[in-house]
Structure 1
Amino acid sequence: MRVELYGCYWSDGVVSYSMPQGDKRGNGWEFFDATYDGHWDGELRRGLGQLTDGRTGPDNFKMYHDNDRAQGWVGWRNDSRNQPVEIKFEFDKVREFSAVHIYCNNEFTRGVQVFSQVDTLFSIGGKYYTGEPITYTYMEDKIFETSRNITIKLHHRVGKFVKLRLHFSDRWIMVSEVTFDSGKTINHIQDMYLHRVKTANLYF
């Protein structure tokens, strides 16, 4: 559930995200999305959780967040999947996107680094992601271990669904928060797309 505090209007537009659940690290460390309010079955579907709660994790990923036992980080281990991590966001309406901000851990001495690459894909209906993805490559940093916010320009691409494909550069990727800069598009863009889909179906 999204709550607006102190009269601050939340306008990000995210209504849910879906992704693999996080992984365990050693004894007693579970980098799960523990506050996720959607469907759990190994894959998290149609809910919201730590990635959109407005709070970022501490630089030391083993510290708890605000003393409430919420670690603040969702983490995935490379050797448990051997493929990029995909996170799919659904928005309230078709939107025009200018940027995405991904808050990442970079404790490289503990095997955690910012992703090596992100592919961003867009869809109107959520089934087909057409067009070339926007690919962003991150320059490895093995000097500073502080967490950081990575901003990726999205060049006014349009969609109701956005998929992020995060590529590993080390054993772990840990993400705390994902936010988007976007604006609602005029309704006729969505209507044009739906008309094309209906027209195409007449020929099958």
Structure 2
Amino acid sequence: MEKAVSHSRTHYDTRRLVRMAVLVAIIFLLAFTPLGYLAIGPIAATTIQMPVIIGAVLMGPTAGAILGGFFGLSALLKVITMPGADLFATTIMTYSPFLYIVIAMIPRILMGWLAGLLAVGLKKMSFDKSGMVGYAITGFVGSMLNTIFYLGALWLLASNVVATYYGIDVSGVGAMVMTVATTAGIPEAIVSCIVVAAVSKALSKSLFK
């Protein structure tokens, strides 16, 4: 009996690692291709939060946090290996590597973790038998959290860099951040809502059973 339980647990862990590896591969694929960042306004909108949120929805907050960490790591590696791809991020990295690491990593880890917690909470509600509503809500909220946390970190920790880079007064950084959050963040969240719901539903019936 113990051997059967141990074998089942090992099989579960292996499948979980494979799923995580697939999502990590997608994160890096998006990060290093034009599919990952869409230029909207002064800061690029991103689709890379989607595999993070999907992992959080299907595997829980810990998986979401880990995938969020890989999201941040992909951004960091891109700045190091392709500094011309995102001149704004490169500017922050040049100003303070530690500051950029914090801005790139912490918001994405928090986003993945909180998306997972939200998904767990929504699964416990009886109104959503199919799971689609919960997936869609998590996709939208998770994407907005990514936008809010990342732009918020820029506002709180790098206002002077943002102001210098874009040639505006420091007092105007907040307004610029709010504009980007609205014009880029909301459409991004709507797309995430649709994609996360559709993909999570499909995977929940197959790979993530």
Identify whether the pair has TM-score above 0.5, normalized to the shorter chain.
no
Name the structure with the higher helix share. Answer: 2
Shorter-chain TM band: under 0.3
TM-score by length of 2: 0.26
Name the structure with the higher strand share. Answer: 1
